[in-house]
Structure 1
């Protein structure tokens, strides 16, 4: 984004750039996918990441999901696993239903380190996953003695289920060069989006031209490199405005804008409201 501070790449720790620290991952929980968008579809559609692993299990409807800069379609009986820190966003219509499992601190489970998009065609693994999720939900909602330990054991079975599905689908084609480049780009954006870096800075860090970077981004997800950066920054801006009491000027500074006035213009152009109006509405 233009007129933002052009600082060199850093490790992107929140304390280094003034942004509030991300909260520690919450406990294990399950949320119906439609409810994720109940407080604004930007919460699921804009590019963002989580500080905990998540599994999306779609049981009805279809749409598109972008993971690490690559967009694919999803439909019923698709399971999508996202490790912590992976940039993603997906559209969800009124016809989409399913479950999102947030792993919390993951309890030391041996989970995959890369995103997975599993299309579960056989009824047996579909039924196995449904049973595991039902058991986790029953423990979390029942409040019986030891419910948290019991839910944790079922979560371990979920990890085993994921491992088995990966083994069953072994042999899937490896990502091509464009997908690998966009994945590296989105990882850099996720690390440094608070620093005010522009597309030219990211392209230089990746050893490519801005034109080439934008071309492969459009090829993989239909968005330019600039749109990916802007989307990630604006998601964080909306999150800070809704969930914190930081003044607009502090939000602007935390996200690498050189002035609060430019932040306000950029936010209003993209969202249709000023930061203050968005906060009041939220």
Structure 2
């Protein structure tokens, strides 16, 4: 098993302190998600448009992606790497991410809910599971969680949470056995991880790349160079992608007026928001709301 991890392996977080240690401190910037446990096919995440998985966004709950087939790239916290079959990727609440999804992509996504009550890692972890027994074990736990969540039997909710506890132990064991294999993040990766956390926290403020660079103590040129080195994209591209995801989400999932969406994302005027949206998406906000 090979491990890729943003920071070195840390101690596991207690559920009560997890929100305080997440990279983004302002939960109001995160999409609203249900508080209960959900297990669903990864392909279902793209229902309503591939932008729902490919654009940069963050969740207000932790999730685990278990890829069983297909390959592509995933960007987490501003760092892009490849994923393939039998990759398990744990993403804490509040961490900005997006990944490619194709016709050959198969797997399961587990959403823990905001009040999951189990011990989980502080940081993102990308595990490449080589041993067949560990692959079978993880798939079995996820199947059991889904079965209990779909059951009307007495105690099914409690049983599902117990299986989450087993999953927590499975993660802890995999991370513990592979801790020595985790490479130390480069200076560029550390900088971009800090930028991604700031971006997720403040993307609604109207701040530009120069503002974020100043807060990080670097020049915009250096920040962009680091972003290109870690994910192949400019710092401005990550910022725009995050804002456009939120714009599409609000247009698709709410009835907020375009003017209010524009204001909430820090645009100086609805006209400027409309031009920026049409340039990036190829439709005006009103057209996107009607046709998706």
**TM superposition score normalised by structure 1:** 0.92
Q: Distance in 1 between matches of 2:221 and 2:151?
A: 55
- Give the alignment partner of residue 183 of structure 2, picking from 169, 173, 177: 173
Q: How far off is 1:26 after superposition?
A: 2.5
Contact 1:218 1:224 in 2 (8 A): yes
Partner deviation per Cα, 1:127-171 (whole Å, 9 max, x = no partner): 110110111111111221111110010011111111111011111
Residue 160 to residue 108, structure 1, CA distance change in 2 (3 Å): same
Partner deviation per Cα, 1:15-72 (whole Å, 9 max, x = no partner): xxxx8x8536420000100111121000000000000000000000100000000000
Instruction: Give the aligned partner of residue 242 of structure 2.
Output: 232
Instruction: Give the aligned partner of residue 4 of structure 1.
Output: none
Q: How far off is 1:121 after superposition?
A: 0.3
Contact 2:36 2:116 in 1 (8 A): no
Q: Distance in 1 between matches of 2:63 and 2:99?
A: 13
Instruction: Give the aligned partner of residue 144 of structure 1.
Output: 153
* Structure 1 residue 209 corresponds to structure 2 residue 224: no
Q: Distance in 2 between matches of 1:259 and 1:66?
A: 30
* Structure 1 residue 194 corresponds to structure 2 residue 204: yes
Q: Distance in 1 between matches of 2:75 and 2:207?
A: 22
Q: Distance in 2 between matches of 1:120 and 1:141?
A: 27
Secondary structure of the residue aligned to 2:268 is: coil
Q: Distance in 2 between matches of 1:104 and 1:66?
A: 22
Contact 1:11 1:192 in 2 (8 A): no
* Structure 1 residue 124 corresponds to structure 2 residue 116: no
* Structure 1 residue 157 corresponds to structure 2 residue 166: yes
Q: How far off is 1:106 after superposition?
A: 4.5
Cα root mean square deviation, aligned: 1.5
Contact 1:48 1:235 in 2 (8 A): yes
Q: Distance in 2 between matches of 1:152 and 1:162?
A: 15
**TM superposition score normalised by structure 2:** 0.89
Q: How far off is 1:12 after superposition?
A: 5.0
Instruction: Give the aligned partner of residue 36 of structure 1.
Output: 45
Contact 1:12 1:194 in 2 (8 A): no
Contact 2:37 2:116 in 1 (8 A): no
Contact 2:62 2:90 in 1 (8 A): yes
Partner deviation per Cα, 1:181-231 (whole Å, 9 max, x = no partner): 000000000000000000000000000000000000000001100000000
Q: Distance in 2 between matches of 1:89 and 1:13?
A: 19
* Structure 1 residue 49 corresponds to structure 2 residue 65: no
Aligned residues: 268
Secondary structure of the residue aligned to 2:80 is: strand
- Give the alignment partner of residue 192 of structure 2, picking from 172, 182, 189: 182
Secondary structure of the residue aligned to 2:75 is: strand
Q: How far off is 1:94 after superposition?
A: 0.4
Secondary structure of the residue aligned to 1:211 is: helix
Contact 2:67 2:108 in 1 (8 A): yes
> Where in structure 2 are there 5+ consecutive unaligned residues?
1-23
